């Protein structure tokens, strides 16, 4: 159905689905695999809750989500990972650049364990309160290959500075 209406990308495992529809990492895996079979590109989201970060469990949570939800045949030609800490979505709060770098490095290492050399070609996006003011620094962080933008993509006034930040790198 999504394909029939002309979509070429789908987002699976978004934290709102995980929280509101109790979608599990296994559900996200099944959806990613099904989307691939239909020829759709997949953006798979992972990310910890605030309670998990406060308990120093962010890295373990993200590793477990990746392990359970990345299809075996994932590669950068159709598969993108997005790190989206739940507590940063729509809140105006973001992790520090060091925290983003640490999670993205761990995500890349976990991908390498799961899919080998193909991991190098998988884009890992950061999402959660990306704005024109913070995009340049976030996008310049190691292992950050792009941004998944929510609120700031809704108006040209807010989105154009993010595009400009990306273009200036």
Q: Looking at 61-69, 133-141, 143-151, 157-165, which segment touches ligand 13P (CB under 6 A)? A: 143-151
Minimum distance from residue 21 beta carbon to ligand 13P (Å)? 15
Q: Are 44 and 28 in contact (CB under 8 A)?
A: yes
Minimum distance from residue 153 beta carbon to ligand 13P (Å)? 7
Catalytic entry in 23, 48, 84, 104: 84
Cα–Cα distance, 109 to 54 (Å, whole number): 23
Determine, following the binding rule CB under 6 A, whether residue 70 of this chain makes contact with ligand 13P. Answer: no
Q: How many CB atoms lie within 10 A of CB 144?
A: 20
Total number of residues that touch ligand 13P (CB under 6 A): 13
**Element at 106 (helix H, strand E):** helix 97-115
Minimum distance from residue 113 beta carbon to ligand 13P (Å)? 26
Cα–Cα distance, 56 to 75 (Å, whole number): 30
Place of tokens 């999402």: 127
Tokens describing residue 160: 């154009």
Cα–Cα distance, 46 to 66 (Å, whole number): 7
When the beta carbons of 76 and 150 are compared against ligand 13P, the nearer one is 150
Determine, following the binding rule CB under 6 A, whether residue 149 of this chain makes contact with ligand 13P. Answer: yes
Determine, following the binding rule CB under 6 A, whether residue 130 of this chain makes contact with ligand 13P. Answer: yes
When the beta carbons of 75 and 159 are compared against ligand 13P, the nearer one is 159
Radius of gyration of the chain (CA): 15
In the residue annotation, 52 being an active-site residue is answered as no
Please report, to the nearest 10 degrees, the dihedral formed by the alpha carbons of residues 57, 53, 26, 128 taken in order: -150
> Which of 121, 132, 150, 161 contacts ligand 13P by CB under 6 A?
150
- Report the catalytic residues: 14, 84
The contact set with ligand 13P (CB under 6 A) reads 14, 84, 89-90, 127-130, 148-152
């Amino acid at each position: 159905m999504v394909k029939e209406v002309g979509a070429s990308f789908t987002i699976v495992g978004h934290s709102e689905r995980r929280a509101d529809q109790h979608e599990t990492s296994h559900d996200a895996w099944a959806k990613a695999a099904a989307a691939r079979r239909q020829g759709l590109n997949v953006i798979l989201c992972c990310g910890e809750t605030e309670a998990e970060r406060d308990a120093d469990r962010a890295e373990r949570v993200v590793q477990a989500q990746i392990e359970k939800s990345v299809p075996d045949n994932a590669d950068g030609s159709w598969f993108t990972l997005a790190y989206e800490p739940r507590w940063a979505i729509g809140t105006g709060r973001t992790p520090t650049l060091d925290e983003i770098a640490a999670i993205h490095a761990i995500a890349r290492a976990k991908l390498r364990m799961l899919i080998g050399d193909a991991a190098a070609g998988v884009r890992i996006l950061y999402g959660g309160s990306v704005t024109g003011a913070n995009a340049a620094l976030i996008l310049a962080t190691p292992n950050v290959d792009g941004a998944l933008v929510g609120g700031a993509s809704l108006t040209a006034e807010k989105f154009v500075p993010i595009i400009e930040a990306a273009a200036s790198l």
